[in-house]
Structure 1
Amino acid sequence: MHFIVIGTANQTTHNIMPEALPLLAQPCVFSGGQRHYGLVKALLPEQHTWITIKGSMVALFEQYQQAGETVVIFASGDPLFYGMVQTIYKYAPKATLQVFPHFSSIQRLFTKIGQPYEQVRHTSVHGRGWKELDAALIKDDKFISVLTDVTRSPQAIAARMLQYNFHHYEMVVAEDLDGQQENITSGTLKEMTTRSFHPLNCVLLRQVSPAKMPGMGIADQQFEGLPGRPNMITKRSVRLVTLSHLQLHTAATFWDIGCCTGSVAIEAKRMHADLGVYAFEIRTECETIIQHNMERLAAPGIEVVMGDFYEKDHASLPSPDAVFIGGHGNRLDALVQIINQHINKGGRIVLNAVQASSREQFVISATNAGWELQPEEVLQVNAHNPITILTAIKTR
């Protein structure tokens, strides 16, 4: 198949680049969203076939396949920027492409407010989760652009940022850019939670004050702990050495099993903002505490999985590249077997053993699983018991 992808401006005249105009006279099937049809209909041949983009992408590309001709797709702005080109690569990887981009909505916004954008972190929550925006906020980027949708609207973005303690930004919202209802407003996050906006919008976040977020090595007292059990936390020095053994800079997904109040998971997310972090905990009283710690320490995006780890559908979760065993319920061998079934080859597993029996059982179980044991490291924090940090790698 051959696709011609043409970016459109949000207006009915001069809405595509001139070099794309001759292509519209060729025998083609045309496609785009309903809004795009209204913008370009006057440019199309009197007799033409139009396929509206909506619903299932699988069904849409089946329609394209059945058309058996070159398909011209109209897309908003720059289809190479979070746009239709990526969708084509996903659903028709062997297709050939010609692309004629227009200016993206982000470019139009920056042009209108005179904002240079070479240092802007670009993100999108349009039809996807919060992951990209969360990562940009954790990394403390000075300028962040956001492509929104109806669910993850400017109001929802502002509310989430306030929830997770990112108070040091202002928000610029651009509505219906180049359209009849164009409007650009700026304000505090709190103000933006109370406003309503045109559904066609994009956002710029700008820092207005220095961040007050924790750096590497979060102080133990900054975590809310279990009532009456202040020592139920992986201490900062042990936490940092543990994370160094996990080598999370090479990982895409990290499981923290027995996360308690979330200190290891939160430190990992703060250090590696793009990392997918899954925190497992059986104690029901920890659920609220973990959430409070995520919010106060600006660590959104951690997936907290409550309940008995041994009873979970592990196959439904992304396979980990690194696992920290913070708790095992005296079933360490069974836990090692579960991890062995799901961790990716080359994945690293770390256990902090206080008791000699835990160390011995881990060594036996890891050896039986065929893991490659790494040199041990022993730490002692103040008057607390020595801790042996055990590391193994799945090599096959």
Structure 2
Amino acid sequence: MTFTVVGAPGDRRVTLFAAACRASGLPEPRVVGWPDVLRGVPLDFAPGTLLRIDSPGDDPEADALLRGPGDPTRVGGGAAWYRNFTRALDRIGAAAAGTRPLGDVGEIAVMFDKRRCHARLQAAGVPVPPALPEVTGYAELRARMAEAGERRVFVKPAHGSSASGVVALQAAGDRIKATTSAARDPGGYHNSLRVRSYETEAEVAALIDALGPDGLHVERWLPKAALDGRALDLRVVVVGGVPTHAVVRTSRAPMTNLHLGGLRGDLDAVRRALGEDGWRRALDVCAQAAACFPGTLAVGVDLLVGIGWRRFAVGEVNAFGDLLPGLTGLADGPAAGVDTYTAQVRAALSREGSPCAT
């Protein structure tokens, strides 16, 4: 039994997945680089191979082929990125006949469009934050907020990832505050590892208008539960329909992403605060969200926990949300003691009836 990975050669995800294969007694996976896929190099997948589609990662060459030439740290270009990404997914899907894909290309495309993903979750009865109609600029955003009576919203680029261009917006009368990792310089907006705030209408309008042409998804800002003065949410990896790994992400800023200064929190403390019934309900919501993508072996679910520890909402479902180095599976789950990649290798082999699955 062998794996082929479409990914960014040398990317940490590919390296960790290869290590999981070796630890399971399997050969090193063959890696097909995203740049080759995006340049139209003919794809040749061996019949019967287990095909894993992974993230393009931080590969500058892949980024230039997806968004066009420019600084890889720039914010924006999501529409072009998505257009080229989905075309590449279609090429992979067409070449994958006879393989055993671990991810459905159509489902991956939905997960990378926040508007479509939100709509699919909502239609399935998964709790999600209420969304406003799509907007393309600041004036339209403020009008939609006024119509809905919303003063606090999250503005998300429709095709962004890693919180790139995400804006937590608060507006009340003449007062306005936009919190984001997008830093402005003479060349436009760039991703920063530091969260900052813009507090004049001119600054906020310029930011939203710069992001708007690529399409924006706007959701109600749901106040999050907190521990020790830090707001939190959960990233839960669901493998084969079962939640296997969970990490608590905490922050004093609205964004909890770990690369933006968020810290891993105490999962045991969260479980105590939720109680066992609440914890089971939280995992059930994550499993329900993953079930909306039945053709994809593993997804990362961002679960929002409301103030009071009783309400949940799914913020996003991530096709490539399994990069949690050093995190082992839930002690009472099927991936206890192993990382997210080993859990996926085992699940894939079990699905194929391989004796290497244990």
- TM bucket (normalised to shorter chain) is under 0.3
Larger Rg: 1
Which one has more relative contact order, counting CA pairs under 8 Å at least 6 apart?
A: 2
TM-score, reference length from structure 1:
0.24
What TM-score, normalized by structure 2, do the two folds share? 0.25
